[in-house]
Structure 1
């Protein structure tokens, strides 16, 4: 099984980084310190239509991958939607972890040299290593409260979407915080963490993407692990009446995808995402669930070009079901 998230953000970028239309919005997290988000205001100036755009496994600390690699912020604001792009959270799964990420009790920051090697990064410092990641708390309490108090943004009937690592995170936040999130979108997400080999694949991906230990996130039998698994918490989404958009590509490259090592990796990762997404679809059907739009394009690999296209397909439904 291809590790989910390996080379995730090394695939084809659609646009240049940083848009001057966005504003830096800092909010203090009680556990993680100051966290930056990028906020893009709706074209018509409303404050009741809000969507959160979550980043992937290799989330950077300068800007959100959606801004770095796509132009979706402008598509959303043109549709009169306010966009909130949290920055950071590498390998976090946007979850509340049980402890800081360490290996064998060795404190983070003891590596003499930092490099691109996940093994080296496992002993290096970084976000979530000297402190415990508390991203679910930040996204469901601290950030929306600050957006409400300082910008007047509504903290009810918001939308949220993510890709790969954060596809399931978007569904998790909607499942457990239904008054905040009425809409959730998963693009190439990991939607069945119970699949054979899935935890091992996530372990490898987290080591590769910053040197993180999945056991610090949650043990395999912890309730927290089930809390992160859309296959397990699907009944909550049904009970909440959450509107969803769920997609995964076939793993076949588009004609615009050059056949490189990154593309070949992206093909394998997308195939894994498709299996999990189809498993979730079967689970949803067995529950008698509706209120969901599926999209399974005939071509599409694990890259930003695919996710930007899927966002375009999701946008009309998102716009009709928030605020």
Structure 2
């Protein structure tokens, strides 16, 4: 599942019209007959080093603490925008280093989504850590593509981390969170780079690439976005090892030492969905309804592997921003605690 259309900026889904509803109908038929897949084991690995150093080519001041960076990335092969919210002490305590929270957006969105759709800036008022919101490309899958470029994993876990440390005094204390495709990316980064993140939170995310509903959503989403999913991880049969190397459900032991939080809605519309376009509600309902079963299974597998995991399954809840905004508030106290300061809700 590339980020389902309902995770787009508000109003974008309605323009998709009949294609969205057709995709929903196909997905419903498959979901009615889909059975849970058994996670398969597989190796995991890290992204390749970038070809030459990444560098910040421009900085735009949004307000006293928010900056939009343009980063030239050899790994991605182009410039990538990154939004950063600085800690309040960043300007006054010139010798201090700061923990970092990385926030990953969904597949049909961009680096502005968290500040556009949530009150993360208000929450950050007392945060004593950097908040870094990088772009991940439309349907970028937070992966180094099989075709060679883009290499989003190398950018996010290598180039960007080094730039934050060298330019913005980031420390090695890190947390990562994301929603939908961004949650998938957060889980993958935490598993494939053990020890890099103390805490990972995934909201409404697909967690098992072997799940039939996920396979269908990947096919529909990649077709809609004009890409071939084989360009990302290769053929799911002949390149199965690479698919499993990017499959959170196949890497449960790799999460040991990292605190994990998983959240997902039931797919039932609620008061937060009132007044929204009917097409949007239908798509976000089906997109979320496909996730709870595999998320529960993944959480159980993590616990059996000795991973410290919390989960929140809520009803009602669709694949949409009102629920992710609420979930951000729910996990915020833990994020601030893990990163070493109190903060406020």
- Taking the aligned partners of 1:3 and 1:29, their CA distance within structure 2 comes to 23
Report what 2:190 is aligned to: 174
1:322 aligns with 2:339: yes
- Taking the aligned partners of 2:118 and 2:11, their CA distance within structure 1 comes to 10
- Taking the aligned partners of 1:90 and 1:84, their CA distance within structure 2 comes to 18
Report what 1:49 is aligned to: 99
- Taking the aligned partners of 1:66 and 1:35, their CA distance within structure 2 comes to 17
- Taking the aligned partners of 2:2 and 2:153, their CA distance within structure 1 comes to 24
- Taking the aligned partners of 1:69 and 1:90, their CA distance within structure 2 comes to 17
Q: TM-score, normalised by structure 1?
A: 0.80
Report what 1:133 is aligned to: 150
1:74 aligns with 2:122: yes
Secondary structure at 2:122 match in 1: helix
Which has the larger share of strand? 2
1:150 aligns with 2:167: yes
**Alignment partner of 1:25 out of 66, 69, 74:** 69
Residue correspondence of structure 1 range 93-104 to structure 2 within 5 A = 93-99=141-147
Report what 2:52 is aligned to: none
Q: Is the 8 A contact 1:12 1:304 kept in 2?
A: no
Aligned residues: 280
Report what 2:245 is aligned to: 227
1:5 aligns with 2:4: yes
Q: Is the 8 A contact 2:136 2:152 kept in 1?
A: no
Report what 1:271 is aligned to: 289
Query: Unpaired segments of 5 or more residues in structure 2?
Result: 13-60, 91-95, 341-345
1:91 aligns with 2:139: yes
Secondary structure at 1:157 match in 2: strand
Secondary structure at 1:193 match in 2: coil
Residue 316 of structure 1: CA displacement? 0.9
Report what 2:317 is aligned to: 300
Q: Is the 8 A contact 2:88 2:127 kept in 1?
A: yes
Q: Is the 8 A contact 1:41 1:77 kept in 2?
A: no
Q: TM-score, normalised by structure 2?
A: 0.75
Q: Deviations over 1:10-62 (max 9, x none)?
A: 5589xxxx9634201222211322211000012343632210110101023xx
Report what 2:34 is aligned to: none
Residue 77 of structure 1: CA displacement? 4.3
**Alignment partner of 1:242 out of 242, 245, 258:** 258
Pair 186,12 (structure 1): closer, same or farther in 2 beyond 3 Å: farther
Q: Is the 8 A contact 2:183 2:202 kept in 1?
A: yes
Q: Is the 8 A contact 1:246 1:295 kept in 2?
A: yes
Query: Unpaired segments of 5 or more residues in structure 1?
Result: 101-131
**RMSD of aligned Cα (Å):** 2.2
- Taking the aligned partners of 1:4 and 1:91, their CA distance within structure 2 comes to 7
Pair 224,295 (structure 1): closer, same or farther in 2 beyond 3 Å: same
Q: Is the 8 A contact 1:169 1:228 kept in 2?
A: no
Report what 1:127 is aligned to: none
Residue 282 of structure 1: CA displacement? 2.4
Report what 2:29 is aligned to: none
- Taking the aligned partners of 1:23 and 1:317, their CA distance within structure 2 comes to 25
Pair 312,12 (structure 1): closer, same or farther in 2 beyond 3 Å: farther
Q: Is the 8 A contact 1:157 1:179 kept in 2?
A: no
Secondary structure at 1:315 match in 2: helix
Q: Is the 8 A contact 2:140 2:152 kept in 1?
A: yes
- Taking the aligned partners of 2:127 and 2:287, their CA distance within structure 1 comes to 31
- Taking the aligned partners of 1:176 and 1:77, their CA distance within structure 2 comes to 32
